[in-house]
Amino acid sequence: MNHLVIRGTLVKAPRLTRSPAGISHLLLAIEHRSMQEEAGLTRQCYARIQAVVSGVEAESWSTKLSLGSEIEASGFIQRHENANGIPRLVLHAQTIKQV
Instruction: Give the per-residue pLDDT at 60.
Output: 93
The CATH class of the 4-98 domain is: mainly beta
Nearest to 56, CA basis, from 29, 22, 9, 30: 22
pLDDT tens per residue across span 8-64: 999 999 999 999 999 999 999 999 999 999 999 999 999 999 999 999 999 999 999
- The 10 Å Cβ neighbour count of residue 37 is 8
Using CA atoms, how far apart are residues 50 and 70, in angstroms rounded to an integer?
15
pTM of the complete model: 0.91
Specify whether the CB–CB gap between 33 and 45 falls below 8 A.
yes
Instruction: Give the per-residue pLDDT at 71.
Output: 98
Using CA atoms, how far apart are residues 36 and 44, in angstroms rounded to an integer?
6
